[in-house]
Amino acid sequence: RSYTHTNTSMKFAANLFLLFASASAFAPANLNAPRAAQSALFMADDAAPEPVRIGTRGSPLALAQAYLTRELLMEKYPELNEKGAIEICVMKTQGDMILDKSLMELGGKGLFTKELDTALLNKEVDICVHSMKDVPTWLPEGTILPCNLEREDTNDAFISGDESVQVLDDLPDNAVIGTASLRRQAQLMAKNPTWKCVNFRGNVQTRLRKLDDGVVDATLLAIAGLKRMDMQACATTVLNWDEMLPAVAQGAIGIQCRDDDERSLKYISGLNHEETKSCVDCERSFLEALDGNCKTPIAGLARIIDGKLRFRGLISMPNGSETFRTESEGEVADAVAIGKAAGEKLKADAGDKFFEMMVEMSPQQVLGQLSKK
């Protein structure tokens, strides 16, 4: 009984203390306190600045790009070096979760951005970091993409599962190549129609593991992604743009925000790399002019050489049987116009019938020799 009474008394005292403590928290400030004390009190009332929340996919490559963005923000803006000033918010997209189907069967590139777009518009994140080649040419209303970080190497890496095969042309007839990209498939099969391309999705580590397991004889990956994860040693060789023209915006990172978010706009605009932005804008203008989708193999690359913007692009049948190419050059300031003109030219060269066939084909017909494994 004595123990019970003591315990009860202690509980009462504790509750009484909490009651007075809670009441004092809501008491008005002592306006007669010294000015310094008043200032300190009002400073305490001011909440710490809201963190900059970075939305990203959860793959190793996406995370590497998000952490690179965080590092660059911290380097440029001292206030973002404070603990908790930047948060990384990871989310899964539909494209990450469904790996047994090709992107074309699932409905296109927006599969890697829709969830991030929604989080951005709902103010769950402040900025989103994307691989630009995954971003559709249209953006949701209320969002903008004003920043491209300095571009990494744009080329594709050839990775062989056989030490005796060091370059693409060393692959024998009927070799099996893992790729989920119709762009790569079309250019590969144009080189050698006997090669077989199989659907090869998943993150970089998953694809390399399948290669080691002998599922395929070789695969192609963007060298930019390998470099960002310090895995470039995995590449057997790097293909130049004469051997394999890259995807539009390959190797570029884009940062998106809401169009009315002045704070985020200030931060990410300071990270923009003008040369990269000009080249990416040219390539995306080319893609938009073609109304490109995941049924059409499209490649395009802009480079600034000796102060001029040089662009090269192509469209092809998925099996590489028919390819249309274009090259152009002009002033960097005219990047968007150069890309648009190149796209319109290829559209005219290929003719309406070419694009009608792409629209009418089922995913299975478009994939041609592409099979799942």
Record the tokens describing residue 9, joined without a space.
């008394």
Q: Count CA atoms within 13 Å of residue 360 on its CB side.
A: 6
Residue 123: closest CA among 49, 46, 55: 55
State the catalytic residue, choosing from 96, 117, 126, 134: 134
Q: Count CA atoms within 13 Å of residue 137 on its CB side.
A: 18
Residue 326 backbone dihedrals phi, psi, to 5 degrees: -150, 150
Checking DSSP bridges between strand 298-305 and strand 196-199, what pairing results, if any? unpaired
CB burial of 28-54 (b: ≥16 within 10 Å; e: otherwise) equals eeeeeeeeeeeeeeeeeeeeeeeebbb
CB burial of 142-179 (b: ≥16 within 10 Å; e: otherwise) equals ebebbbbbebbbbbbbbbbbeeebeebeebeeebbbbb
Question: Can you tell me the distance from the alpha carbon of 178 to that of 308, in angstroms, rounded to the nearest whole number?
Answer: 36
Cβ count within 10 A of residue 123: 10
Q: Are 165 and 236 within 8 A, CB to CB?
A: yes
Residue 83, sorted as left (phi over 0), alpha (psi -120 to 50) or beta, turns out to be beta
Record the tokens describing residue 60, joined without a space.
């190793």
Cβ count within 10 A of residue 205: 14
Q: What's the DSSP call for residue 261?
A: -
Q: Are 161 and 216 within 8 A, CB to CB?
A: yes
100 catalytic? Reply is no
Return the active site residues: 134
